[in-house]
Amino acid sequence: MYLHIGQSVVIPSHSIVGIFDLDNATQSHLTRRFLEQAEREGRLKSIGEELPKSFIVCRVKDETQIYFSQISSATLLRRAEENGIE
């Protein structure tokens, strides 16, 4: 199964580690540090031009990839549940 995370981007469901609300999650300095490090290492991808509402952490071939999405975490979670992704 795949999850559509915005624009024309889909990711394999088996690679998803977590879906997070950007506003709530970035209140923690640890999360901000994690995202800053991912950006420095080139592992952070922004989907589209709009202000992101969520981020998705994926694990592919022993590498962590983070996607910023303009779709809310609640909508992404609902899509995942509709597709049978646990």
List pLDDT tens digits, range 11-62: 998 999 999 999 999 999 999 999 999 999 999 999 988 999 999 999 988 8
Residue 82 host element (H or E): helix 73-82
Report the distance separating Cα 86 and Cα 84, nearest Å: 6
In degrees and rounded to multiples of 5, residue 12 shows phi and psi of -65, 135
Report the distance separating Cα 39 and Cα 9, nearest Å: 19
Contacts of 18 (CB under 8 A, 6+ apart): 56, 57
The pLDDT value given to residue 27: 93
- Indicate if the pLDDT at residue 86 is higher than 70: no
34 and 14 Cβ atoms separated by less than 8 Å: no
- Indicate if the pLDDT at residue 79 is higher than 80: yes
